[in-house]
Structure 1
Amino acid sequence: MDQVFKALSDGTRRRLLDRLHEHSGQTLGELCARIDMSRQSVTQHLAVLEAANLISTVWRGREKLHYLNPVPLHEIQERWIDKFERPRLRALGAVKRRAEEDMTDKPTYVYVTYIQSTPEKVWDALTDADVTAAYWGHNNVSDWRVGSRWEHRRTDGSGIVDVIGDVVESERPTRLVTTWADPADEGEEDKYSRVTFDIRAHGGIVRLTVTHEDLLDESDVAAAASGWSAVLSNLKSLLETGSPLPEEPWAMPVG
């Protein structure tokens, strides 16, 4: 948390976060265009924000895109603000979100975590139906070939499928891209979202970046933030300790 407060103490870094709040997924050039500062200086400020986990980065071809990561700010809000002003601030926040929804494109959520493992093991943990059952409560079922269908099936014996989609890219062990949809919305592609798993060796560990794009609105972003942080924390625990967390994070009460 100290890194977060240090990063937020600088006015330039706060302006960069404001720019990413307005439009997440910007290149260095786009961010520099609105700040009277050299590219090198902006790069240094972005490095501080990334070290504090306030932004996440994703490579798209030769472009490096920068995304706002709201998780640390949410933790500050939960710890120091919500418990004092929760009802009033939530009401104001809801008004603000509704106003912003009409002004923005479909939002994107990015989550980055570091896991003591190998890219191959992380890939298998995301695609092996038995392993996903151990930390996700669902079997991820597919042959994971480009163009194939995949399903997110409950493990309670009901056979219920909660998510469907198609495999868009599949490059073991570094990159997996899939579409996501409620089975009730099958065929309505405007309701599909898209999830990218980028798996990169990072020294002796793995940097896993999950990018969830084409979400319908800010409520979907909040759900993605909560869901991905819980699932990936459970995945990290499984790969590093051999066991998932003692309680399913998504089933635990908040507060």
Structure 2
Amino acid sequence: MNVPVRVMAHLIAGYPDDPLAFAIADSLVGSGVSYLEVQIPFSDPSADGVAIQKASSEVLSRGYTMSDNLRFVEKLASSFPDIPIFVMTYANLAYRRGVDSFVTTMAGVGVKGLIIPDLPFDYDEGLNEACKNHGMYAVPVAAPSMDSARRDKLTRLQRKFVYAALRAGITGSETVIDPSMIEFLDDIRGNSLLLGGFGIRSGQQSKLLAPHVHAVVAGSVFVNIIARYAPEGEKVLKTMINEKARELTGLA
């Protein structure tokens, strides 16, 4: 009997358009994912690979605004109340609006956690405090390039969630799961729930990671499916998303 793997599925707000993006989310939830990570499209990302950059640029070229993002996230949160919604974005968008104001707004549309990779956990402009005040989680990002002292510093914070980037660099390239990666995950876990991602494409990878993380994060793999199959219509697209999600969750 297959033991389901918790998966956090990454999608981009408004990609390829709002109706299809919602249909994709519906398919992901129906396929057994445990979390949705919604990325706010950004014009100058520091962690995103080619697929996500291209998708974000397509959304922004339509004049997609923060209000559009918020409406999309709010619809997800109200439609799938049992699925925690985490938002991934960049510091510029939060800082420009004021971190506390940004967090207040996100809490108001049902967001449970914020992942802002270019706000380091020890210089986060008040993000963690603001999230605590609004019943949300600020999710710091850890990478294998962190030295042992910095890993220890993060572990001592005992954050509820930590996003473990499985390698340095940007998303999209295939990730090889080797003993050093497992050692990194086990080293930073502490009492936190690890969300492990970057380059996860297959059920085999998610099964290897599952004993060492709370949830496996998959993003570019879904973005690539959307880019390929969206022109064929919603039915085909949802079928392909469903197949990959069930593979990653071990429910196929």
Length-normalised TM-score, structure 1: 0.27
Greater strand share, 1 or 2? 1
